Structures are given as structure tokens and as C-alpha cells.
Amino acid sequence: MRVRNIYSKIICILICCFIFAKSADKPTIGLALSGGGAKGAAHIGVLKVLEEAGIEVDYISGTSMGSFIGALYAIGYDSKRIEKIYRELDWEALLFDQKINRRSLSIQEKKYHSRYVREFPIKDWQIKLPRGLGYGHTLSQTISQLTWPVNHVDDFSKIPIPFLCIATDLETGEAIVLDHGYLPDAIRASMSFPSVLTPVEIDGKLLSDGGIVRNLPVQDLRDKGVDIIIGVDIGAKLYNKNELQTVVNLMEQISRYFGEESNKEQREKCDILITPDIEGFTASSFFATDTLIERGERAAWKILPQLKNLADSLKQFKQDVIKSIPQTKFSPVNVVSIEFRGLPKDKEYLIQGILNITPPQLLTPEELNNSIDRIYGSQYFERVTYILEPHANGVNLILNVTEKKENIFKFGIQYNSDMKSAVLLNTTFRNLFNAQSRFSMDVRLGVNTFAELSYFSYSKTLPGMGYGIDLLYDNFEVPVIDSSGSINALFDYKAYSIDLSLQSTFSNDYIFGGILEGLYSTGKVIYGNELSSSFNPKLINAIGFVKVDTYDQTVFPHSGLKLFAEAKVISDKYTHRYGERHDSVSRFLLLYSHSIKLHNRLSIFYGLETGVIGKIWLSSRKPFFKKNDVDLNEIPGDFLFWVGGPADYENNLISFTGLRFMEISTNEVTIYSAGIQLEPWDSKYISFKGNWGELSTINYNQENSSIYNKNKEIYGYGITIGMDTPIGPFQYILMKGSESDDFFSHISIGWWI
């Protein structure tokens, strides 16, 4: 051990003497951090030891994960702060964020959130493979927030510790040194591992992970004139022949050939080389953070005497002022003006309403990132970055915006005990006919079919206002349940509708509007008793609605609320199957649910579902609304409330745990529900729900009498076992209710439209 220490001292003295002979200035120390995905946690362990040894770094280079950790260190974060940040980040969500956070989506987009298994870009009217599994929006936002103190610096040599990182030009295969520009973009480009994260375009070049061509960026520090370079190599080594047993390993081996040759050359250029033992770990081993940090420490500890000798030999030189460490919570900035780049002047209105920033205004990093998230959530913009340009009274907020050009094809699969299996298809075109518009086609192929053409566009002159048109076809079989719980009829229902809508959006969470709906439906009994209620009217409906949706997840929400309120009126005269004319009939519906997070893995929820059907008169001689003066013949089946089934269908299909799908039809209903949801393991759920209510039952045997059997009480309860899967949520529900003698189950996987 003593011999080794003496040897280390001699090496460091010789290095410093050589450099000192050339210059009387303090030799510069460079730190080169390689890429390696999750194995990058070992860099943190190395940084701890460097700090303990007293090594002050003058220049940092990084590739991929090395660029992320290196940039944070260059800004002024110490190893302890970086470790805390690294542990708190959800790396799987950051790297595979194909879906934008639901709360950031506009309310029009929330119903489509996570509905489909995969999505593919459409270019030149052809479906293409995506450039990566994740878009990196969340990662970019995280990096932007962490680099807030140097957001305005476009020359990386002017941040507390000069910094550079390496990316790969996908067109030429050349290594690109990123030492200026927008720091978060540079880091994001360096981390864009092919097939995992989409590449980043900078200065007209399409850039991806720098590890493809130079995983250990040592030469780049030499080119900057750095005297002594400490390299930390966590790159993957070539597999031996015994390990080449799978297709995956073979493909990895091929991709490593070129990189291994480059790494060998870069390692030889290091003055001090640290190689943590990362055998057995991969780029996705984020579960092993503790072990990897410890491996980094252990590797650096082995050369601690050499590092201390180097630090001691540099004490003769004048030391730089110790860099300050950024705070976790940054002070707000005063935004005095906003400048948009990448959008024509006549399109700036598209983003101003979404941004919701009115200068002068104090903004924290969190508030600004929330505004950026809302821009992404509108789904009309592909890329948004910002620069905080210093100003006498605060900062100028410069937004670089790229409109979404790619159209999207999506698909999914679904199975439901009620609706059976189906394939879900969607094609969405944005900004097709005019700016900030969406044209989509949804199709459900299976036993029960569905198709919808939808067009929506925001107004240029009225911020937040939009208009739309929807064409819809729906076909499904409705089982008719008798009092014993048996199916006594099966009804085939088809509906065709056209909706013209005018909507106003308060925020991502609120919307209200009006709809003029034309509806034509047909129906026939496949077997069993004929229904008294009509399913073939031609209706013109006027609808007013309000929607509120703050759920963090569509299914298994931990927190948030959801509200849907609707008033629907059939035109004064409508065609009935009996050829009669009737007074206007109106329907009022309120659906409300609220989830409250008590703990990371515990939530409670409760809800209210209520609706009533009656007649409206505008004459002063009669009541404005009278619910009891309606008989069966005056209510088309499309207009009734159909109660039963656990799914949240909205419209006139009201969920009720303990009843089968559409088991009871009624013109008046009030249901209360409550329950608790546990998440014993990540994305695995157990919930208990109970519901109770009152409704009016329809007497099909007395066609011309009142349809009320008032105050019929119903109740039900059930337990749900669920989990998130790659194709959507899985739910198994075991339940029982007042209308059934035994327990029965419901199974679903995937999403329903």
C-alpha cells in the first residue's frame, strides 16, 4: 500500500511539474463523464470522493447520462444535492413519457388520454414508425427547471464550471460538440438514446445520443486546453461469446463495436481513469441506484491517495472562489415581456390564451413549467422551449415554439364483459384546415361497432371559444333484465347522430357549451319480448352542458374531481313511432365524483349521480317544469336513463356497482356512492365501493299510465382488483346488489369508446 501511495505521488508531481514548466498558471482539471443510462448513478459516487479529496474541477464534459449529471455539477449542485435529485426523479416516466401528464391536457383531449396502445406518425399519407418510444417532454421540462439559474446563458463556458456535451448527428454519424445554445436542449439531445427518446433538432441538425460515436468525451476537453483530465467510464463492454445467446445481446454487440474502439482511444487519453465495476447492470437498472453509487465511490476510493496528492500539488496556485450551490426552490422572476419565435404573428393568439401569463407578472419555475405543460397539452405544438433574457426590471420570456406537423394513427384493443372484444382505431389530423384545429376519426371494430368523425377548431377572434361538428354511428346489443336477474330479451340498437357545438374553455379543467343534435335511431328485438319504449325516433335536441375534469388518471384516480352536467330538450314536436305529436320533453343530468388522496397509496372517493325527465312549458298558465306528467309513450328509449354496469359511460348510461349493464330504465334517479382505493404495489389497485339510490321504475304493462313506481330503493357493493397494463387498465369486479340473489363479476381490459 505504501509503495502504491509513493507511486501515486510521483505520477501527480510529474504531471504538475510538466504543466507548471509550461505555465506559471494553475493547471486546469477536467472531468469527463461517460454515458450509460442508469449506470450513470456511479458518477455520483465518484463526485463524492472527488469532493472529499479536495479536487476542484475547472471543466466538465459529458455524454448521455454523464451530460445530465455533469451539467448539474457544472451549474453548482454538489454531489449530495445531485444524489437527492437523482433519487427523486421517476426515470421510467421521464424516458418513456409517450403520454403527456393528464392534468396538462386540454379538457377536449382528456377523453383520448392513454386510450390507445401505440401511436404512429402519418407523413405523406403513410403510417411511419415513431422515432422513439418517448417524446421526452417531461425530461425536457425537468432539465429546464433544474437549470433555471443559468437559463439565460447561451455560452456554456460562462456557467460556474465551463461545460460541454456530446451528441450524434444522425445524418452524418459525426460527433457534435454542444458548448453553446440552450443548455436543456443540449443535455436532452445528448441523452436521446435511439429508439427510446426522439432525437432533437438543433441548428438544422437531427441529434441523438452522443454515446453512439463518443461515449467518453476526453479529447473534447483536450481541445479546450484542459491540462489534467479525470475520466469516469461506465460504458458497456463487449459481450464474450458465452453471453451472446439472445437476439437482443447480438444486436447490442453489433452496436457496441464502433463505440468500443472509440472508448479505448479516449481512455488512453485520460490522465486519471476511474472505471466503476458495473458488471451485471444495464442502462435500465434504475432500481439499483444505491449499489451503483456505492460502486462509483468504491472505484474512486481505490485511487484516493492519488487524488489527494493531485489536490495537494495544486495548493500552491491561487484557488478560484468556491462555486455556490443552487437552491432547490428558486426565486420567482418578474416577466416584463413575452416574445414568440417560430410562429407567424397572426398565429400568436393560439398560444397566448393557453399560456395565461400577463406581463408584468412574477413567475416561479414551477408556474412557468405548468404553463409550458398546458401548451403541450393542447396537442397543437410539437416543441416548446424558453429563454429568460435579463432585463432591467426583470426578464424577457422568449418562447421558441414549433407547431405539430405530424398527424397520428393510433390503435388499441379492448375486452369488456358487456361489450365483448373490440379493436380501437384512431386517426387524428391537427392544423389540417386551419390553425389550432383537430379532425379525428374513431372506429371500434367488434361485436358492437362504433364510428365517429369529429372536427373542432378554436376561434381566431374569441380566445377560448371553439366550434365543432360530430358525425356518429353506434351499434350495440342491449340485454333486457327481468326482476329475477335473467335476460328476457336482447335488443339490437343503432343510432345515427350529427352534433353542431359551440364551446368555451375556462382552462384545461373546465368547459361549457351548447349542442344542436340531430338523432335517428333504430332498434329491433333479436329475441324475447317487444319493448314498450320506442327506439326509433327522429329527434332534434338542444343541449347545454358543463364539464369539469381534474382527475390525475382516467381510471384508478388518486385525486381530483369529475363533473358532467347536462340539460337536454327535445324539440317541441318530434316524430314518434306511433305517429303522434307530443309536448316538449326535457332531461337534466348531473354526474359528480371526487377522489381524495390521503396517502401515496391510499385514496377515498365519493360521488353523486342524479337525473330527471319531465315536460317544459313556456306558457305562464302552466308550470315551467313538471316531472310527473310524462308517460311511457312520450319518452323515447334513447332519452331514458339506463342504470347499471360499473363503467363510467356518461350521457344517459349511469354506472351502478351491483347492477348489470343497462339493467334498469328510469326517468328519475339519484345515486350516492363511496369507497376506498388502495395501491399496495405500484400500478396495482384494490378498491371497495358501495352505492345506494332511489329511482322510478317503468311499468311496461301499463302503456298509457304514469311510468312511476316511486321511491324504489336499490343498493349494491363490490370489490375491484385492477392494474395498469401496456394495453390499458385491467379490472376484475366482484359485486352484488339488491336486484340479484348471488354475486356476479365483470371483467374489462383496455379502454372503451
Say if CB 71 and CB 156 are below 8 A apart: no
C-alpha cell at 312: 495537494
Strands (E), 506-574: 510-528, 538-549, 560-570
Task: Classify each residue of 88-102 as buried b or exposed e, where b means 16 or more C-beta atoms within 10 Å of its C-beta.
Answer: ebebeebbbbebbbb
Q: How far apart are CA 39 and CA 506, in angstroms?
A: 45
Q: How far apart are CA 547 and CA 150, in angstroms?
A: 41
Q: How far apart are CA 386 and CA 369, in angstroms?
A: 10
β-bridge pairing 487-505 and 205-209 = unpaired
Residue 672's pLDDT is 96
Residue 17's pLDDT is 52
Q: How far apart are CA 248 and CA 239, in angstroms?
A: 12
Say if CB 104 and CB 366 are below 8 A apart: no
Q: How far apart are CA 666 and CA 709, in angstroms?
A: 10
How would DSSP label each residue in 355-370? H---SSEEE-HHHHHH
Select from 423, 384, 385, 430 the least CA-distant residue to 407.
430
Q: How far apart are CA 570 and CA 539, in angstroms?
A: 7
C-alpha cell at 59: 471543466
Say if CB 518 and CB 539 are below 8 A apart: yes
3-state secondary structure at position 37? helix
How would DSSP label each residue in 38-92? GGGHHHHHHHHHHHHHT---SEEEEETHHHHHHHHHHHT--HHHHHHHHHHS-HH
Which residues, 6+ apart, have CB-to-CB distance to 407 below 8 Å? 121, 122, 123, 427, 428, 429, 430, 432
Select from 489, 467, 465 the least CA-distant residue to 478.
489
Residue 21's pLDDT is 47
Residue 400's pLDDT is 85
Residue 578's pLDDT is 39
Residue 556's pLDDT is 92
Q: How far apart are CA 73 and CA 87, in angstroms?
A: 16
Residue with cell 451503483: 292
User: In the 8-state DSSP scheme, what is residue 645?
Assistant: B
> For 629-683, what is each residue's pLDDT tens digit?
555 555 667 778 889 888 766 678 899 999 988 888 888 899 999 999 999 998 8
pLDDT profile of the chain (753 residues), mean per 10: 46 50 72 91 94 92 94 93 91 69 78 75 66 67 87 89 93 91 91 79 87 90 93 76 57 59 84 89 85 93 89 74 60 86 74 80 84 79 81 86 78 84 87 79 88 86 82 81 62 86 81 89 68 61 91 91 89 46 73 93 95 67 53 66 79 88 85 96 94 75 44 91 89 93 91 71
Which residues, 6+ apart, have CB-to-CB distance to 1 below 8 Å? none
Residue 58's pLDDT is 92
3-state secondary structure at position 262? helix
Residue 327's pLDDT is 59
Which residues, 6+ apart, have CB-to-CB distance to 242 below 8 Å? none
For residue 179, CA distances in Å to 93, 158, 624 come to: 28, 10, 72
Q: How far apart are CA 454 and CA 503, in angstroms?
A: 14
Say if CB 121 and CB 406 are below 8 A apart: yes
3-state secondary structure at position 134? strand
Residue 753's pLDDT is 66
